[in-house]
Amino acid sequence: MTDVVKLRHPEKRDRPDNPSPRKPSWIRVKAPTSPMFGEVKRLMRGLGLATVCEEAACPNIAECWAGKHTTLMIMGDTCTRACAFCNVATGKPKPLDPTEPTRVGEAARALGLAHLVITSVDRDDLEDGGASHFVAVVRAIRAAARSTTIETLTPDFKHKPKAVETLLTAPPDVFNHNLETVPRLYPTIRPGARYFTSLALLAEVKRLLPTMFTKSGLMVGLGETRGEILQVMDDLRAADVDFLTIGQYLQPTPKHAAVDRFVTPDEFAEYAALARGKGFLMVSATPLTRSSYHAGEDFAQLRAARLAQATPG
């Protein structure tokens, strides 16, 4: 049994291993070689901040950090849920640290990025699911790094009352919440969540703030069918979601859900074409697409796409 399972996933410790097929040639994980990688790491350690890039063992970390593109994970490094796909540690989280928003602001200033993505662990223990902490973080970034646009990749707040209204008191530039998989697989892959709660969250954000850019992501290769993915696309369009990301699921440890199959680059291209046909303003669908991958460039394109749509003839 690997240490990572013992330490990070005690709930998965006694489960049998789930063997996955060998990675195909198109799944390439690069080793970090850029000096910027060490700089980003030092900055995060110095400010006592966690990143989902590290916590989720993201395959794109070498490429993203070479350009300082990192996704901060707030509200601690311990999640109250235990999803079958996720490498973030599960356990009882510590109380919220009131200095974290200021430290995130300092990180935003030091990184100097055009666009910064902030995500979090699930905090089902908090009365508002952590919505007011997101607000404090967004305000701190706006104060410290005025020109940086902000994308919040949030949990579902466990459908806590007024969480969305709270979040929108300091609206980000992009509201992102991942559906992750098709509804049939929720009980095994995302057992602490409900598909229609997540969908309703995305719809509610757009209803309360129609100018907000909304975004959601799916992992494929977990056993879903093509028809199920197309249905999820329709559901997301019915919720008026602007931007869809689709990437290959990769198994973080043998105790996590097995990869059912590796979806080919051609199939990803087909999903992208089908999603565009269904009216998403932006689609990113490649094997290594992640919700925050190339988020800055994609946001620039998203804004341009909305402008083009609003400009007559």
| CA gap 137, 101 in Å, rounded | 4
Footprint (CB under 6 A) of ligand SF4, residues 210-269: none
* Candidate list 60, 80, 214, 245; residue touching ligand SF4; CB under 6 A: 60
Q: Indicate whether 121 belongs to the interface with ligand SF4 (CB under 6 A).
A: no
Comparing C-alpha atoms, which of 146, 155, 151, 202 is closest to residue 174?
Answer: 151
Indicate the SS3 state at residue 121.
Answer: coil
Which window, 61-69, 127-135, 155-163, 270-278, contacts ligand SF4 (CB under 6 A)?
A: 61-69
What is the side-by-side strand order in the sheet with 50-51? 50-51, 71-74, 115-120, 149-153, 174-176, 213-220, 243-248, 282-285
Which window, 4-12, 69-77, 266-274, 305-313, contacts ligand SF4 (CB under 6 A)?
A: 69-77
- Kindly state the tokens that stand for 179: 């559906």
* Candidate list 40, 49, 50, 52; residue touching ligand SF4; CB under 6 A: 52
* Candidate list 50, 58, 126, 239; residue touching ligand SF4; CB under 6 A: 58
Residue found under tokens 């000096």:
35
- CA-CA-CA-CA dihedral for 159, 181, 71, 115, to nearest 10: -90
Angle at 278 between CA 275 and CA 284, to 5 degrees: 25
Q: Indicate whether 53 belongs to the interface with ligand SF4 (CB under 6 A).
A: yes
Which window, 53-61, 123-131, 138-146, 299-307, contacts ligand SF4 (CB under 6 A)?
A: 53-61
* Candidate list 134, 186, 293, 299; residue touching ligand SF4; CB under 6 A: 293
* Candidate list 44, 49, 61, 250; residue touching ligand SF4; CB under 6 A: 61
| CA gap 50, 41 in Å, rounded | 10
Comparing C-alpha atoms, which of 160, 94, 112, 108 is closest to residue 132?
Answer: 160
Decide whether 126 or 141 has the Cβ nearer to ligand SF4. 141
Nearest approach, Cβ of 52 to ligand SF4 (angstroms)?
A: 5
Residue found under tokens 């291209």:
269
Q: Indicate whether 64 belongs to the interface with ligand SF4 (CB under 6 A).
A: yes
* Candidate list 290, 296, 298, 299; residue touching ligand SF4; CB under 6 A: 290
Decide whether 52 or 212 has the Cβ nearer to ligand SF4. 52
Residue ranges in contact with ligand SF4 by CB under 6 A: 52-53, 58, 60-61, 64, 69-71, 290, 292-293
